[in-house]
Amino acid sequence: MIGLDTNVLARFLLDDDAEQSPAARKAIKRAIAAGQRLTVCAPTFLELEWVLRSRDGANNASTVALLRQLLELHDVEVIDESAVEMALEAHETKNVDFAECLFHFLYVTHGCSSMLSFDKRAQKQLVGCVAP
């Protein structure tokens, strides 16, 4: 099993660097051909969302779509996948920052009854997100 860092995923998905993008594609294809499982952890999605959102011309819909494509790859295992899926859905439909959504659903899927936050939008939109 091989874990993928955000910078490798960004170069793979965005194909925006003349040296690193081909290297990322080659390494990922080589691992898949060798039968190795690729793994992405939830914090990588958090950082990748920021990278994608920071690009010129990026919008919420295109960012969410690209992250969903990553979730759908058969050769990639996502740690805490259900929390990432729920966070993407909430981010897309509730106008709450992806980070707040991901934190909230990671806590929920790990048994927390609530999340304390000063984020007013999260308090209003995410059930169980409350002010301290």
pLDDT digits (tens, 9 = 90+) for 70-110: 999 899 999 999 999 999 999 999 989 999 999 999 999 99
Q: What is the mean pLDDT of the chain?
A: 94
Shared domain for 72 and 37, answered yes or no, is yes
Q: How far apart are CA 48 and CA 20, in angstroms?
A: 16
Q: Which helix (H) or strand (E) holds 130?
A: strand 129-130
- With a cut of 90, say whether residue 122 has pLDDT above it: yes
Shared domain for 106 and 70, answered yes or no, is no
Shared domain for 99 and 62, answered yes or no, is no
Q: How far apart are CA 126 and CA 119, in angstroms?
A: 10
In a domain, 87, yes or no: no
Q: How far apart are CA 45 and CA 88, in angstroms?
A: 10
Shared domain for 53 and 100, answered yes or no, is no
What is the reported pLDDT for 1?
A: 92
Amino acid at 32: I
What is the reported pLDDT for 59?
A: 85
What is the reported pLDDT for 60?
A: 86
Shared domain for 75 and 104, answered yes or no, is no
Nearest to 89 by CA among 60, 48, 121, 55: 60
At residue 56 the predicted structure's pLDDT band, cuts being 50, 70 and 90, is: confident
The pTM of the full predicted model, rounded to 2 decimals, is 0.90
In a domain, 27, yes or no: yes
Residue 87: CA count within 13 A, CB half-sphere: 25
Q: ∠ CA 6-52-84 to the nearest 5 degrees?
A: 65
Shared domain for 26 and 72, answered yes or no, is yes
In a domain, 84, yes or no: no
What is the reported pLDDT for 58?
A: 80
For 43, the domain range is 2-79
Q: Are 99 and 93 in contact (CB under 8 A)?
A: no
In a domain, 8, yes or no: yes
- Total count of domains within the chain: 2
